[in-house]
Amino acid sequence: MHLYINTTSPFVRLVRLAIEEKGLSDKVKTEIVDPWADPKAFLAANPAGRVPVLTTDDGHQIAEAQLILRYLDQIAPEPTIFPAEDLAATLAIAAPALGATEAATAVIIGRKSSEAFDTDMVGSKRYRTMADGLARLDANLPRDFSDRPDIANFAAVTAVDYIVFRFTDRDWLAGLPSLKAWRERQKGHPSVEATMPYI
Ligand SMILES: N[C@@H](CCC(=O)N[C@@H](CS)C(=O)NCC(=O)O)C(=O)O
């Protein structure tokens, strides 16, 4: 398999966490791409020009992180990302974390078009979504990775780390002691460390 990535994308990170947890690293060749440079082969794989994009061994090209996760869970079922035993509870934790991540990337991308994006009507709502999403996680923590990797802790660690990484003007976890302690406990977990965002 082949995976287009960059080193900062939280959507890429969700997929890479699954690849690590499922022991698929040797089966996926990653290629770093600048999605804003519109490389031809990348655009052919995903006309939206966004990472991640997975090409399967039989040549299917799948964009959208959550679709790629669905595929990886099918071809490598253990450990499952979407545990049947408590699926609704797990998804309910993941949802605000994914929402916070989408909001954070919307701000980063919005700044490319408008310097005032952070404070305009849309930007303000995205900031609120980030803060509220992290607060929701603080009140309803996912499991530790060492207990069970799943979509809830993938989404949580991705949201926390991306927001802290991109928005350095405030201490996002200052008023969220449970989430802060949860994040501390994930330190050293191999998939978490192997997928940290960097520039
Ligand atoms: N909904 C998509 C979002 C992917 C996405 O927004 N990727 C960003 C990087 S974080 C990107 O490639 N942006 C380039 C662009 O928006 O043109 C997913 O879940 O994969």
| pLDDT tens string 52-98 | 999 999 999 999 999 999 999 999 999 999 999 999 999 999 999 99
The domains found in the chain, sorted by start residue, are 2-75 (3.40.30.10), 84-194 (1.20.1050.10)
Instruction: State the Cα–Cα distance between residues 71 and 33, nearest whole angstrom.
Output: 22
Residue 124 confidence (pLDDT): 97
The ligand 1 atom nearest the CA atom of 64? 20
Distance 51 CA to ligand 1 centre (A): 5
Model confidence, pTM: 0.98
3-state secondary structure of 61: strand
Q: What is the mean pLDDT of residues 158-171?
A: 98
Residue 108: its pLDDT value, please? 97
Confidence at residue 59, expressed as pLDDT on a 0 to 100 scale: 98
Mutate to test the pocket of ligand 1, among 12, 51, 195 (most ligand atoms within 8 A of CB): 51
* Per-residue pLDDT tens digits for 108-149: 999 999 999 999 999 999 999 999 999 999 999 999 999 999
Does the CB atom of residue 64 touch ligand 1 within 6 A? yes
Alpha carbon 61 to its chain's center:
19
CA distance 197 to 190: 14
DSSP state of 5: E
Residue 105 near ligand 1, beta carbon < 6 Å? yes
Kindly give the number of the ligand 1 atom that is closest to the alpha carbon of 8: 10
CB of 133 within 6 A of ligand 1: the answer is no
